[in-house]
Amino acid sequence: MPEIPELEHVAQVLTERIGGRSISSVEVPKPIVVRLPRPDFEAGLLGARIEHVERRGKFLLWYTDRGSVMAVNPMLNGRFQWMAGADGLGAPLKAHARTCVALRFASEHDDARLGLRYIDERVLGKIYLVDADELDSVPVLNEQGPDALDPALTQELFLQRLKRHRGQVKNVLVNAKFIAGIGNAYSDEILFAAGLHPFTKVSELDESRRIALYEAMVETLSWAGAICAAQIGDQIDRKPRDFLRVHRKGGEPCPSCGAAISEVSPKRRVTSFCRACQPG
């Protein structure tokens, strides 16, 4: 599942490459991901100029000059990929079998046409097109809490919001209603940085550990964001994870203490942590 460190960079690349360009063609090979009638989606996008692309939680919001927003929830596997021959960005040569939507972009200023496809192996992602003042009607987006990187999410606000949540700290971290943008991989990394066992109940955390959790969240997302930006570059369909310290590193030595990293999968969700550095 793409999370803040990857999506933040993807939004920046899309804004740089596509901002100011108009959509010159819209194809929808798998309409199931588009959550409005296909003709409305096509007519709404065709000819629209993209102003910028912004990330909010795990959503990518494409603002157009028509006052509309294409809101993309990539869910588990959705991602954007440049199409071959479109500006030499090095995309795979063959059409991708899991292309759900393909867009081409023209510019008044140069002849290069950019092509971008939205691919999704499990076809679980969802794409909406709404007026900018109706973003509150988009499911999931309208229920999520502040973004984990929102400067308005101060330590004080974080602690306040944490008081409303119960249950295991990992489950709370990945709950977008608490804070948006953190998923399975980065919750493991944040908990490792904070030295907290993932299955500890939030109610058992004292003030100093709650503050440590906030600081670990900010530090981890910033650390990973810089690495993702460098490793992804223009290849926006990539999701680099090899550099992570514990997530999916079960059996490997902990980078801090050398003990073997534990990996468990309650509800089929892999959770990786160090029992020595994150005692329960």
Nearest to 19 by CA among 60, 49, 44: 49
Q: Is 12 in the site for Zn ion (CB under 5 A)?
A: no
Give the number of residues in contact with Zn ion, rule: CB under 5 A.
6
Q: Is 263 in the site for Zn ion (CB under 5 A)?
A: no
- Residue 246: φ, ψ to 5°: -130, -30
Stretch of 20-28, 169-177, 197-205, 250-258 lying at the interface with Zn ion (CB under 5 A) = 250-258
Q: Is 264 in the site for Zn ion (CB under 5 A)?
A: no
d(CA 75, CA 64) in angstroms, rounded, equals 23
Q: Is 277 in the site for Zn ion (CB under 5 A)?
A: yes
d(CA 235, CA 14) in angstroms, rounded, equals 11
Identify whether the C-beta of residue 70 lies closer than 8 Å to the C-beta of residue 36. Answer: no
Q: Is 276 in the site for Zn ion (CB under 5 A)?
A: yes
Identify whether the C-beta of residue 46 lies closer than 8 Å to the C-beta of residue 120. Answer: no
Q: Is 274 in the site for Zn ion (CB under 5 A)?
A: yes
- Name the DSSP letter for residue 112: -
The total of other beta-carbon atoms located within 10 Å of residue 235's CB is: 14
Stretch of 19-27, 135-143, 190-198, 272-280 lying at the interface with Zn ion (CB under 5 A) = 272-280
Token pair for residue 258? 């050398």
- Of 222, 257, 269, 280, which lies in the binding site for Zn ion, with binding defined by CB under 5 A? 257
Stretch of 78-86, 134-142, 196-204, 249-257 lying at the interface with Zn ion (CB under 5 A) = 249-257
- Of 84, 256, 260, 263, which lies in the binding site for Zn ion, with binding defined by CB under 5 A? 256
Residues forming contacts to Zn ion in the complex (CB under 5 A) are 254, 256-257, 274, 276-277
